Amino acid sequence: MHATRRLTAAAAVVPLILLSTAPGASAAPFSLSVDVLVNGASTLTACPYGASADFAEAYDDTEVEPQVAVNPVNPDEMIGATQQDRWPDGGARGLSSWITHDGGANWTKLPDVPWSGCQGGPTRFGRVTDPWVTYDKVGNAYFIGQPIDSAALGLSAIAVTSFDRATGAWRPPQIIQEDSGDRGVFNDKVSITGDPTRPGHAYATWIRGSYPSDGRQHPVADLHSFAYRGKPMFSRTTDGGLTWSTPVPMRDSNAYFQGNQIAVGPDGTLYNVAANLFTGAGLNDRGVYMGVMTSRDAGLHWSAPAQIAPIRFAPLVVPDNGFPIRAEDYLPDIAVDMTTGAIYVVWADGLGTAVNRVVLARSTDGGRHWSGPAVVATGGPGVQSYNHAIDVSDTGTVTLTYWDDRNNVLGDGIATTDVWVRHSHDGTRTWEPEQRLHGPFDHYRAPISYFAPGDPRGLFLGDYMGLETISGNDVIAFFTSTASDGADVRAVRLNHG
């Protein structure tokens, strides 16, 4: 039955473009370090804050949606972060962070940041979500999160902190955006990028959903309005995180830019990649595409979005019974080769079929033209892949990680999932053979993300996974996997010769 499912899916699809998998001249596998369990037990399980009318209990001792960053000044130092104790209808009790000083072999939990009421922050924020960490050129570390009151699109904020080396802890977070939600305004999907070319510079971005002028129509008119937009917001620091600029939209137009993430090129150009989910004509508009905006003055001015490729959605589900999986899906990840300036963007796309697979687009001219999207996951036409992450080393090696369900057996009650890694030495024109990084694990043990009781969004381990170059050909993968208590965060160091 397992093979039949694959053949049936393949027969129903249009031909897919595949990048060559022929090994390059220096073909060699990664050597993988021990798979390190990063987290310990949660300290927040007794917190009274964060319950909603629909859900009174969070998933205790569950760490999801990890990110990791490597200090360019001292690559043995890395910081990782995750959500801590995920709520079924969104957000978590807190955000936890860990630091390693020995290249990923051992991790120590850092003191909590007072993001939420559970972590000693404002009690109006019962939850917090979307952790992201980064370093700038000179080793300043930054941590961003999104405090919320609940998952009902009410109170939402963007807060950011930086690491104080004198105390060995994060500074008190600064709230750079806060909205009550009473005008249909909400903030979501934050990311932060330290500038590898400018000391003390870092860039925060997120989506801010609103009507024009932050107004709201009549409740009935809202249902028929095509004016709702998701503005890609931007704020920056130029002094190592001590102060942040007033947030402004990179583009204030009738479009909905989700999953914003900034990368910096070797000449200091900023590239913001995002999925444009509609433009000017509501949710049914066909103009859905992956796009990129550029800035050549450290974020003060931005270009109009250039289209990388159309996005063609396909559902993510457990093959056994169609239960939904909530994962990275169309949300992009971006990396830039700091020697050649080549830009790589990956996301999961159906490409007109019923099965999502990880695809890659590449630009070698500063984002003006793009190749692809080409399928880079190798599980086969009927195997869905997702939760992608990409990075480029200072030697030009491109590393890609992703999950897929190729080893799932229909009807056994287990949603068998594996994490894979592959790499390229020639700008993704060819790829070395893939390797299994982690697994198999049972995706059914993951927390379930709900719209409301009985209405699941899907099994949730995160909309993002961490992957960063350490130095040379060393890479750190920082990801979640299911465990007996729900989910744990793990770190694996990879080296290619």
Q: What is the pLDDT of residues 25-35, one digit of tens each?
A: 445 788 888 89
Tell me which H or E stretch contains 335.
strand 333-336
User: Can you read off the two tokens belonging to residue 333?
Assistant: 């990840």
pLDDT score for 283: 47
Terminal-to-terminal C-alpha distance of the chain: 40
For the beta carbon of residue 263, count every other beta carbon within 10 angstroms. Answer: 22
User: Can you read off the two tokens belonging to residue 223?
Assistant: 């249902």
Binned at pLDDT 50, 70 and 90, residue 225 comes out as low
List the beta bridge partners of residue 255.
Answer: 279
pLDDT score for 13: 30
Binned at pLDDT 50, 70 and 90, residue 254 comes out as confident
pLDDT at 12 over 50: no
Binned at pLDDT 50, 70 and 90, residue 153 comes out as low
Q: How far out from the chain centre does Cα 130 lie?
A: 9
pLDDT score for 24: 43
The full set of domains in the chain, from first to last, is 2-495 (2.120.10.10)
| C-alpha to C-alpha distance for 100 and 317, rounded to whole angstroms | 35
User: Can you read off the two tokens belonging to residue 380?
Assistant: 């086969």
pLDDT score for 357: 97
Lowest mean pLDDT among 156-160, 179-183, 229-233, 485-489: 179-183
Q: Rounded to two decimals, what is the model's pTM?
A: 0.92
User: Can you read off the two tokens belonging to residue 96?
Assistant: 């936890």
pLDDT score for 451: 92
Q: How far out from the chain centre does Cα 347 lie?
A: 10
pLDDT score for 220: 53
Strand pairing report for 141-148 and 455-460 = unpaired
Mean pLDDT (the chain, rounded): 90
Say how many CA atoms lie within 13 Å of 409 toward its Cβ.
5
- Burial class of residue 1 (count of CB atoms within 10 Å of its CB; 0-12, 13-18, 19+): exposed
Contact in structure between 473 and 495 (CB atoms under 8 Å): yes
Say how many CA atoms lie within 13 Å of 133 toward its Cβ.
31
| C-alpha to C-alpha distance for 151 and 127, rounded to whole angstroms | 8
pLDDT at 5 over 50: no
Residue among 132, 153, 41 at smallest CA distance from 90? 153
pLDDT > 90 in the chain, percent: 80
Binned at pLDDT 50, 70 and 90, residue 273 comes out as very high
Tell me which H or E stretch contains 221.
helix 219-223
- Burial class of residue 283 (count of CB atoms within 10 Å of its CB; 0-12, 13-18, 19+): exposed
pLDDT score for 217: 54
Q: According to the per-residue pLDDT averaged within each range, which of 3-7, 24-28, 68-72, 284-288 is highest? A: 68-72
pLDDT at 21 over 60: no
Greater model confidence, 351 or 22: 351
11, 14, 20, 22: CA torsion to nearest 10: 10
Give mean pLDDT, residues 120-132.
97
Give mean pLDDT, residues 161-182.
95
pLDDT at 44 over 70: yes
Lowest mean pLDDT among 243-252, 275-284, 384-393, 427-436: 275-284
Span 332-366, pLDDT tens digits:
999 999 999 999 999 999 999 999 999 999 999 99
- Cβ density class 239-249: b for 16+ within 10 Å, e for less: ebbeebeebeb
**Nearby residues of 207 by Cβ (< 8 Å), 6 or more positions away:** 187, 188, 189, 230, 231, 232, 233, 256, 257, 258, 259, 260, 274
pLDDT at 52 over 50: yes
For the beta carbon of residue 344, count every other beta carbon within 10 angstroms. Answer: 24
pLDDT score for 212: 75
Distances (CA, A) of 145 to 36, 76, 127, 212: 25, 25, 10, 26
Contact in structure between 317 and 323 (CB atoms under 8 Å): yes
pLDDT at 17 over 50: no
